[in-house]
Protein backbone atom coordinates (compact mmCIF):
# COMPACT_ATOMS: atom_id res chain seq x y z
CA UNK A 1 0.00 0.00 0.00
CA UNK A 2 1.45 3.37 -0.98
CA UNK A 3 -1.64 5.54 -0.63
CA UNK A 4 -3.87 6.71 2.20
CA UNK A 5 -6.88 7.04 -0.08
CA UNK A 6 -10.10 6.61 1.89
CA UNK A 7 -8.25 6.22 5.21
CA UNK A 8 -9.39 8.28 8.19
CA UNK A 9 -6.67 10.05 10.18
CA UNK A 10 -7.35 11.58 13.60
CA UNK A 11 -4.61 14.18 14.12
CA UNK A 12 -4.22 16.12 17.34
CA UNK A 13 -2.93 19.67 17.01
CA UNK A 14 -3.43 19.69 13.22
CA UNK A 15 -4.41 23.33 12.81
CA UNK A 16 -0.81 24.34 12.03
CA UNK A 17 2.79 23.17 11.81
CA UNK A 18 3.81 19.54 11.51
CA UNK A 19 0.31 18.25 12.25
CA UNK A 20 -1.18 20.24 9.39
CA UNK A 21 1.64 19.20 7.06
CA UNK A 22 0.93 15.52 7.79
CA UNK A 23 -2.76 16.19 7.15
CA UNK A 24 -2.09 17.91 3.82
CA UNK A 25 0.18 15.08 2.63
CA UNK A 26 -2.54 12.55 3.43
CA UNK A 27 -5.14 14.79 1.77
CA UNK A 28 -3.20 14.55 -1.51
CA UNK A 29 -4.08 10.84 -1.48
CA UNK A 30 -7.76 11.55 -0.85
CA UNK A 31 -7.75 10.72 2.87
CA UNK A 32 -10.26 11.80 5.49
CA UNK A 33 -8.72 14.08 8.10
CA UNK A 34 -10.04 14.86 11.57
CA UNK A 35 -8.45 18.14 12.70
CA UNK A 36 -8.65 17.84 16.49
CA UNK A 37 -7.24 21.04 17.93
CA UNK A 38 -8.16 23.88 20.25
CA UNK A 39 -7.79 26.90 17.92
CA UNK A 40 -11.15 27.75 16.40
CA UNK A 41 -10.71 31.54 16.29
CA UNK A 42 -7.68 33.40 14.87
CA UNK A 43 -4.83 33.64 17.36
CA UNK A 44 -3.01 36.99 17.67
CA UNK A 45 0.44 35.38 17.31
CA UNK A 46 -0.16 31.98 15.69
CA UNK A 47 -1.44 31.45 12.17
CA UNK A 48 -4.18 28.93 11.43
CA UNK A 49 -7.36 27.54 12.94
CA UNK A 50 -9.16 24.23 12.61
CA UNK A 51 -11.34 25.87 9.95
CA UNK A 52 -8.54 27.30 7.80
CA UNK A 53 -6.74 23.95 8.02
CA UNK A 54 -9.93 22.18 6.95
CA UNK A 55 -10.20 24.39 3.88
CA UNK A 56 -6.58 23.68 2.93
CA UNK A 57 -7.19 19.95 3.32
CA UNK A 58 -10.29 20.09 1.12
CA UNK A 59 -8.37 22.12 -1.48
CA UNK A 60 -5.60 19.48 -1.44
CA UNK A 61 -8.07 16.71 -2.27
CA UNK A 62 -9.03 15.33 1.11
CA UNK A 63 -12.14 15.42 3.26
CA UNK A 64 -11.90 17.36 6.50
CA UNK A 65 -13.72 17.38 9.79
CA UNK A 66 -12.62 20.28 12.03
CA UNK A 67 -13.27 19.52 15.70
CA UNK A 68 -12.62 21.90 18.57
CA UNK A 69 -10.83 19.74 21.14
CA UNK A 70 -8.50 20.29 24.06
CA UNK A 71 -6.42 17.14 24.37
CA UNK A 72 -6.24 17.71 28.15
CA UNK A 73 -10.00 17.20 28.48
CA UNK A 74 -10.80 13.48 28.60
CA UNK A 75 -14.50 14.01 27.90
CA UNK A 76 -13.70 16.27 24.95
CA UNK A 77 -11.32 13.66 23.52
CA UNK A 78 -13.92 10.91 23.82
CA UNK A 79 -16.58 13.15 22.24
CA UNK A 80 -14.30 14.13 19.34
CA UNK A 81 -13.47 10.49 18.60
CA UNK A 82 -17.18 9.62 18.68
CA UNK A 83 -17.94 12.47 16.26
CA UNK A 84 -15.15 11.37 13.95
CA UNK A 85 -16.44 7.79 13.85
CA UNK A 86 -20.00 8.94 13.27
CA UNK A 87 -18.87 11.20 10.42
CA UNK A 88 -16.35 8.99 8.63
CA UNK A 89 -17.37 5.52 9.81
CA UNK A 90 -14.21 4.66 11.72
CA UNK A 91 -10.60 5.61 12.43
CA UNK A 92 -7.61 4.03 10.70
CA UNK A 93 -4.76 6.19 11.98
CA UNK A 94 -4.07 8.30 15.05
CA UNK A 95 -1.32 10.91 14.94
CA UNK A 96 -0.38 12.16 18.40
CA UNK A 97 1.08 15.48 17.33
CA UNK A 98 -0.18 17.96 19.96
CA UNK A 99 2.64 19.12 22.20
CA UNK A 100 3.60 21.88 24.64
CA UNK A 101 7.14 23.13 25.13
CA UNK A 102 9.14 25.19 27.62
CA UNK A 103 12.91 24.90 27.42
CA UNK A 104 13.46 26.16 30.95
CA UNK A 105 15.34 24.92 33.97
CA UNK A 106 13.60 23.72 37.08
CA UNK A 107 13.66 27.04 38.96
CA UNK A 108 12.42 28.90 35.88
CA UNK A 109 9.53 26.55 35.10
CA UNK A 110 6.23 27.54 36.73
CA UNK A 111 4.22 24.63 38.10
CA UNK A 112 1.39 25.52 35.73
CA UNK A 113 3.74 25.20 32.77
CA UNK A 114 4.96 21.81 33.99
CA UNK A 115 1.35 20.68 34.39
CA UNK A 116 0.53 21.93 30.87
CA UNK A 117 3.38 19.95 29.32
CA UNK A 118 2.54 16.83 31.31
CA UNK A 119 -1.15 17.09 30.45
CA UNK A 120 -0.68 17.79 26.72
CA UNK A 121 2.38 15.69 25.97
CA UNK A 122 2.07 12.51 28.03
CA UNK A 123 -1.50 12.46 29.30
CA UNK A 124 -2.89 13.77 25.99
CA UNK A 125 -1.07 11.08 24.02
CA UNK A 126 -2.44 8.39 26.33
CA UNK A 127 -5.99 9.82 26.28
CA UNK A 128 -6.17 10.07 22.50
CA UNK A 129 -4.69 6.59 22.07
CA UNK A 130 -7.10 5.10 24.60
CA UNK A 131 -10.09 6.71 22.88
CA UNK A 132 -9.07 5.69 19.36
CA UNK A 133 -7.88 2.14 20.03
CA UNK A 134 -11.32 0.45 20.06
CA UNK A 135 -11.80 1.76 16.51
CA UNK A 136 -8.23 1.11 15.40
CA UNK A 137 -8.65 -2.53 16.42
CA UNK A 138 -11.37 -2.80 13.77
CA UNK A 139 -9.32 -1.07 11.05
CA UNK A 140 -7.64 -2.90 8.19
CA UNK A 141 -4.18 -1.35 8.62
CA UNK A 142 -4.18 0.52 11.95
CA UNK A 143 -1.40 2.88 13.01
CA UNK A 144 -0.60 5.18 15.89
CA UNK A 145 2.20 7.66 15.23
CA UNK A 146 3.63 9.68 18.12
CA UNK A 147 5.71 12.80 17.47
CA UNK A 148 8.30 12.16 20.15
CA UNK A 149 12.06 11.58 20.34
CA UNK A 150 14.17 8.48 20.84
CA UNK A 151 14.98 7.77 24.48
CA UNK A 152 18.42 9.30 24.81
CA UNK A 153 19.38 9.19 28.49
CA UNK A 154 22.50 11.31 28.15
CA UNK A 155 22.25 13.76 31.09
CA UNK A 156 22.92 16.71 28.77
CA UNK A 157 19.45 16.27 27.31
CA UNK A 158 17.87 16.34 30.76
CA UNK A 159 19.78 19.02 32.64
CA UNK A 160 18.80 22.16 30.65
CA UNK A 161 15.04 21.50 30.68
CA UNK A 162 14.11 18.50 32.85
CA UNK A 163 10.36 19.17 32.75
CA UNK A 164 10.08 19.30 28.96
CA UNK A 165 12.42 16.37 28.40
CA UNK A 166 10.58 14.22 30.92
CA UNK A 167 7.21 14.84 29.29
CA UNK A 168 8.50 14.17 25.77
CA UNK A 169 10.22 10.99 26.94
CA UNK A 170 6.91 10.12 28.58
CA UNK A 171 5.32 10.19 25.14
CA UNK A 172 8.07 7.89 23.88
CA UNK A 173 7.57 5.45 26.75
CA UNK A 174 3.84 5.49 26.09
CA UNK A 175 4.58 4.55 22.49
CA UNK A 176 6.76 1.62 23.54
CA UNK A 177 4.15 0.33 25.96
CA UNK A 178 1.27 0.58 23.48
CA UNK A 179 3.36 -1.03 20.74
CA UNK A 180 3.98 -4.11 22.84
CA UNK A 181 0.50 -4.21 24.35
CA UNK A 182 -1.21 -4.22 20.96
CA UNK A 183 1.42 -5.96 18.86
CA UNK A 184 -0.53 -9.21 18.63
CA UNK A 185 -3.61 -7.23 17.58
CA UNK A 186 -1.78 -5.82 14.57
CA UNK A 187 -1.80 -2.16 15.63
CA UNK A 188 1.46 -0.45 14.65
CA UNK A 189 2.62 2.12 17.20
CA UNK A 190 5.73 4.11 16.32
CA UNK A 191 7.45 7.41 17.10
CA UNK A 192 8.80 9.95 14.62
CA UNK A 193 11.26 12.79 15.28
CA UNK A 194 13.04 15.25 12.98
CA UNK A 195 16.79 15.19 12.42
CA UNK A 196 16.85 18.99 12.20
CA UNK A 197 14.86 21.81 13.74
CA UNK A 198 11.63 22.32 11.80
CA UNK A 199 10.40 25.80 10.88
CA UNK A 200 7.15 26.02 12.85
CA UNK A 201 5.79 28.47 15.39
CA UNK A 202 7.58 26.46 18.11
CA UNK A 203 10.98 27.81 17.04
CA UNK A 204 10.04 31.11 18.67
CA UNK A 205 10.44 29.24 21.97
CA UNK A 206 13.89 27.92 21.08
CA UNK A 207 16.92 30.05 21.93
CA UNK A 208 19.10 31.34 19.10
CA UNK A 209 17.31 29.52 16.28
CA UNK A 210 17.46 31.09 12.84
CA UNK A 211 14.51 29.92 10.70
CA UNK A 212 16.84 29.83 7.69
CA UNK A 213 18.77 27.02 9.40
CA UNK A 214 15.66 24.84 9.60
CA UNK A 215 13.80 22.43 7.37
CA UNK A 216 10.15 22.77 6.40
CA UNK A 217 7.45 20.59 8.01
CA UNK A 218 6.97 18.72 4.72
CA UNK A 219 9.97 16.50 5.47
CA UNK A 220 8.24 15.14 8.57
CA UNK A 221 4.98 14.80 6.64
CA UNK A 222 6.61 12.77 3.87
CA UNK A 223 8.31 10.51 6.43
CA UNK A 224 5.01 10.05 8.27
CA UNK A 225 3.30 9.13 5.00
CA UNK A 226 5.86 6.41 4.34
CA UNK A 227 5.45 4.97 7.84
CA UNK A 228 1.65 5.08 7.75
CA UNK A 229 1.43 3.26 4.42
CA UNK A 230 3.49 0.28 5.66
CA UNK A 231 1.69 -2.92 6.69
CA UNK A 232 0.92 -2.43 10.37
CA UNK A 233 2.11 -5.89 11.39
CA UNK A 234 5.52 -5.40 9.82
CA UNK A 235 6.94 -2.67 12.04
CA UNK A 236 5.97 -1.42 15.48
CA UNK A 237 7.79 0.02 18.47
CA UNK A 238 10.31 1.99 16.40
CA UNK A 239 11.87 5.38 16.96
CA UNK A 240 12.02 6.75 13.44
CA UNK A 241 14.01 9.80 12.33
CA UNK A 242 12.55 11.65 9.35
CA UNK A 243 15.74 11.82 7.28
CA UNK A 244 16.56 8.14 7.82
CA UNK A 245 13.01 7.10 6.91
CA UNK A 246 13.11 9.02 3.64
CA UNK A 247 16.57 7.71 2.80
CA UNK A 248 15.17 4.19 3.23
CA UNK A 249 12.32 5.20 0.94
CA UNK A 250 14.83 6.22 -1.73
CA UNK A 251 14.91 9.99 -1.27
CA UNK A 252 18.32 11.48 -2.09
CA UNK A 253 17.55 15.19 -2.45
CA UNK A 254 17.01 16.74 0.97
CA UNK A 255 17.78 20.30 -0.12
CA UNK A 256 14.19 20.70 -1.27
CA UNK A 257 13.09 20.52 2.36
CA UNK A 258 15.46 23.24 3.56
CA UNK A 259 14.22 26.75 4.20
CA UNK A 260 17.57 27.92 2.80
CA UNK A 261 19.62 25.15 1.14
CA UNK A 262 22.76 27.28 1.41
CA UNK A 263 22.62 27.38 5.22
CA UNK A 264 24.03 24.80 7.59
CA UNK A 265 21.15 23.01 9.28
CA UNK A 266 20.59 23.09 13.02
CA UNK A 267 20.17 19.65 14.57
CA UNK A 268 17.10 19.01 16.73
CA UNK A 269 17.07 18.12 20.42
CA UNK A 270 17.78 14.65 21.82
CA UNK A 271 19.86 13.44 18.86
CA UNK A 272 23.60 12.74 19.04
Burial class (CB in 10 A: 0-12, 13-18, 19+), 8: buried
CA distance 196 to 102: 18
Q: How is the beta sheet containing 8-12 ordered, strand by strand?
A: 63-68, 32-37, 8-12, 93-96, 143-146, 188-193, 239-241
Mean pLDDT score, 2-22: 97
Task: Indicate which residues carry an active-site annotation.
Answer: 164
Structural domains in the chain, CATH included, are 8-257 (3.40.50.720)
Residue 1 has pLDDT above 70, yes or no: no
Mean pLDDT score, 168-194: 98
| Cβ count within 10 A of residue 53 | 24
CA distance 42 to 15: 11
CA distance 41 to 38: 9
Length of the chain: 272
For residue range 226-257, what is the model confidence (pLDDT) as tens digits? 999 999 999 999 999 999 999 999 999 999 99
CA distance 4 to 85: 17
CA 52 to chain centre: 19
CA distance 219 to 221: 5
Query: Against a cut of 0.95, is the pTM above it?
Result: yes
CA distance 36 to 129: 13
Q: What share of the chain has pLDDT > 70, as a percent? A: 99
Amino acid sequence: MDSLYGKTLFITGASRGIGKAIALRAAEDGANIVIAAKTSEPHPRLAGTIHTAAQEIEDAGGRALPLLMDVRDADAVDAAVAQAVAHFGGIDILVNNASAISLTGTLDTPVKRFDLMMDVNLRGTWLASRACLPHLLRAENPHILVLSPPLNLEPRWLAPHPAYTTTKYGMSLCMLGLAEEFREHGVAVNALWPRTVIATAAIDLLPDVDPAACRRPEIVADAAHWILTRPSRDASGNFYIDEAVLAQAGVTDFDRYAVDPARELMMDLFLD
